[in-house]
C-alpha cells in the first residue's frame, strides 16, 4: 500500500542506535519525491520537536509520547496543541517532585526542562539505582501513566498515547485522511498503542530486542541487520513506492 502519510517513531527507528545517520536524509528524499508527509511520533520533548520543525523538511511533530502536537501555523510560525488540560500538567509537576523525594538520587532527564506534558528518567539511571520496578509501582499507586522508550522511562498524568494523538491529528489537521491510509514505523515498547490501533505498522529489525514483551506486535516485522532503524524504514519505503 502506498501511504498518504508516514508516521514514525524517532529513536532507534529514524536513528541508527543513538546516531543520526545520513540514511535519514535519504528517507526525507524518497518521501518528498513521492509527495508523502513524514510526521515523527516520539517520546522526546517538544523542544526536540522544535528542532525537527526548524531543521528538517517536517511540518508537524507529535512529541512527548502523544501529549503535544507541534506544527507550522498559517504564518509559518511554530504553534502547539497540548492534548491534556492544565490541571493534569499541574499534577505532573507535583508528581515529578514526589518521585525524587521518594527515591534518593533519582534525577529527571536533562531534557525534562523542555517537557510540558510529560517528564522522563534515564533508563540507565534507573538500572544504576536498581529501582525500575519500584518506580513503576510508585506510578501505579498514584495513578500516573508511564512507558519506556529506548532511552527513557516517561511518565505523565491524564490520558494520552501515540495512537490517540495520531487519530486526533488526522481528524483535526488532515481532513479526509483515514488511519488505514497511513503507515507507521517503530521499534519499541512505547510504540505498542500504535501497533494495536493502526492497521499498517512496520517494526524495524531492532524491535527483536523487545518483541516478546509486546502484546500487540507490528503487522510487518523486518529482519536482519540491513533492516535496523532507518535502513529498515528506507528499504520498506523503497519497496512500497517502487
Ligand atoms: Mg524507539
Domains of the chain, each with CATH number or no CATH = 5-83+160-240 (3.40.50.1000), 86-156 (3.90.1070)
H/E element holding 148? strand 145-148
Q: Provide the edge-to-edge strand list for the sheet that holds 119-122.
A: 119-122, 152-156, 145-148
Structure confidence by residue, pLDDT tens digits, 175-215: 889 999 999 999 999 999 999 999 999 999 999 999 999 99
Report the separation in Å between the CA atom of 193 and the middle of ligand 1, taken as the mean of its atom positions. 13
8 Cα–ligand 1 center, Å: 9
pTM: 0.93
Q: Using CA atoms, how far apart are residues 73 and 123, in angstroms rounded to an integer? A: 35
The rounded Å distance from CA 17 to ligand 1 centre is 9
How much distance in Å is there from the Cα of 186 to the middle of ligand 1? 6
Average pLDDT over residues 112-126: 95
| Residue 182 phi, psi (nearest 5) | -115, 165
Map grid coordinates 522544535 to a residue. Answer: 50
Residue 167: count other Cβ atoms within 10 Å of its Cβ.
15
Taking CB atoms within 8 Å and a gap of at least 24, the contacts of 97-106 are 98/142, 99/135, 99/138, 99/139, 99/155, 102/138, 103/129, 103/131, 103/134, 103/135, 103/138, 105/129, 106/131, 106/135
Q: What's the gap in Å between 187 CA and the centre of ligand 1?
A: 5
Confidence at residue 176, expressed as pLDDT on a 0 to 100 scale: 82
Chain position carrying cell 492497521: 199
CA of 171 to the centre of ligand 1 (A): 25
C-alpha pair distances (Å), 125 with each of 17, 86, 122, 128, 144:
19, 29, 5, 5, 20
**In this predicted model, what pLDDT tens digit does every residue of 213-229 receive, in sequence order?**
999 999 999 999 999 99
Calculate mean pLDDT across residues 15-32.
95
State the DSSP code for 41.
B
Distance 74 CA to ligand 1 centre (A): 31
Distance 148 CA to ligand 1 centre (A): 9
Is the predicted pLDDT of residue 18 greater than 90, yes or no? no
CA of 225 to the centre of ligand 1 (A): 16
Amino acid at each position: 500500500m502506498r501511504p498518504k502519510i508516514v508516521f514514525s517513531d524517532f529513536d532507534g527507528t529514524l536513528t541508527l542506535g543513538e546516531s543520526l545517520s545520513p540514511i535519514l536524509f535519504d528517507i526525507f528524499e524518497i518521501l518528498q519525491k513521492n509527495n508523502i508527509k513524514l510526521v515523527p511520533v516520539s517520546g522526546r520533548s517538544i523542544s526536540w520537536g522544535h528542532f525537527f520543525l526548524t531543521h528538517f523538511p517536517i511540518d508537524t511533530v507529535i512529541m512527548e509520547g502523544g501529549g503535544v502536537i507541534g506544527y507550522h501555523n498559517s504564518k509559518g510560525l511554530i504553534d502547539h496543541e497540548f492534548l491534556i488540560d492544565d490541571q493534569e500538567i499541574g499534577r505532573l509537576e507535583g508528581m515529578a517532585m514526589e518521585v525524587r523525594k521518594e527515591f534518593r538520587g533519582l534525577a529527571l532527564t536533562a531534557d525534562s526542562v523542555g517537557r510540558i506534558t510529560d517528564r522522563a528518567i534515564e533508563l540507565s539511571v534507573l538500572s544504576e539505582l536498581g529501582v525500575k520496578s519500584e518506580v513503576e509501582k510508585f506510578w501505579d499507586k498514584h495513578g500516573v501513566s508511564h512507558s519506556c522508550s529506548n532511552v527513557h522511562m516517561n511518565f505523565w498524568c491524564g490520558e494520552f498515547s501515540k495512537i490517540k494523538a495520531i487519530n486526533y491529528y488526522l481528524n483535526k489537521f488532515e481532513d479526509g485522511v483515514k488511519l488505514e491510509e497511513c503507515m507507521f514505523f517503530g521499534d519499541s515498547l512505547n510504540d505498542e498503542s500504535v501497533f494495536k490501533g493502526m492497521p499498517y505498522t512496520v517494526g524495524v529489525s531492532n524491535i527483536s530486542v523487545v518483541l516478546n514483551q509486546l502484546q500487540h506486535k507490528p503487522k510487518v516485522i523486518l529482519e536482519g541487520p540491513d533492516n535496523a532503524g532507518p535502513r529498515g524504514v528506507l528499504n520498506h519505503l523503497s519497496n512500497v513506492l517502487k
